C-alpha cells in the first residue's frame, strides 16, 4: 500500500527520484499516466493489469467510456527506475501535470500521484475547508 507525502524535484532531463518507500512496491517497471485533477498516476504492473481489465469491460457505445479510456491509455508509459531510484518522465506528462522543479509525490493506496507543488498546495487548501463535509458524504460508503 502507498501512503505519505514527499517533496522532490524534477531535473531538466525530466528525472525525478521516487521515494525509497515506494520503489519496492512499484517494482522495476511501472505505468505512469495522466491522472485526474491535473496530476499523474503511477501504478505497479499488477494494479495496472487490474485497471486495464476493468476498463476493457466499459461499453464502446458510451461516449464517456470511450473518451476516458482514450485519455487514460494514450497518456500511459511504462517506466523503469534507474540505479539512483529515479524515473524519467515523458515530456507530454510533464506538460500535462505542469511539473516544474518543485514536485510532490503522494501515496494513495494502490497508486502514487505526482503533483506540481504549486497545484498540490492549491488543491489541499481548497479541499481542507470542505474535508468534514466530504467525510460526512463518505459515510454512505460504510467507512
Residue 141 has pLDDT above 90, yes or no: no
Structural domain boundaries enclosing 20: 2-116
Mean pLDDT over 80-87 rounds to: 95
pLDDT greater than 80 at residue 97? yes
Q: Is the pLDDT of residue 143 over 70?
A: no
Within a domain: 30: yes
Stretch 1-28: mean pLDDT? 96
Per-residue pLDDT of 59-69, as tens digits, reads 999 999 999 99
Q: How many residues can be counted in the chain?
A: 143
Domain assignment of residue 129, yes or no: no
CA distances from 93 to 55, 58, 142 (A): 21, 25, 35
> Mean pLDDT lowest for which of 43-47, 117-121, 136-140?
136-140
Q: Is residue 130 part of a domain?
A: no
CATH code of residue 37: 3.40.1550.20
pLDDT tens, position by position, 108-117: 999 999 999 9
| pLDDT bracket for residue 133 (50, 70, 90) | confident
Residue 85 lies in a domain: yes
In a domain, 64, yes or no: yes
- Number of folded domains that form the chain: 1
- Does 39 have pLDDT greater than 80? yes
Average pLDDT in the chain: 94
**Of 34, 45, 10, residue with least CA distance to 92:** 34
Amino acid at each position: 500500500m502507498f501512503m505519505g507525502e514527499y517533496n522532490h524535484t524534477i531535473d531538466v532531463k525530466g528525472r525525478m527520484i521516487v521515494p525509497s518507500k515506494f520503489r519496492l512496491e512499484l517494482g522495476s517497471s511501472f505505468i505512469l499516466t495522466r491522472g485526474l485533477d491535473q496530476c499523474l498516476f503511477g501504478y505497479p504492473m499488477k494494479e495496472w493489469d487490474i485497471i486495464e481489465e476493468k476498463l476493457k469491460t466499459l461499453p464502446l457505445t458510451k461516449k464517456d467510456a470511450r473518451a476516458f479510456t482514450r485519455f487514460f491509455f494514450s497518456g500511459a508509459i511504462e517506466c523503469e527506475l534507474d540505479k539512483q531510484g529515479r524515473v524519467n518522465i515523458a515530456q507530454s506528462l510533464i506538460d500535462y501535470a505542469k511539473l516544474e522543479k518543485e514536485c510532490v509525490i503522494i501515496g494513495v493506496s494502490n497508486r502514487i500521484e505526482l503533483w506540481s507543488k504549486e497545484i498540490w498546495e492549491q488543491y489541499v487548501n481548497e479541499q481542507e475547508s470542505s474535508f468534514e463535509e466530504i467525510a460526512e458524504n463518505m459515510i454512505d460508503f460504510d467507512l
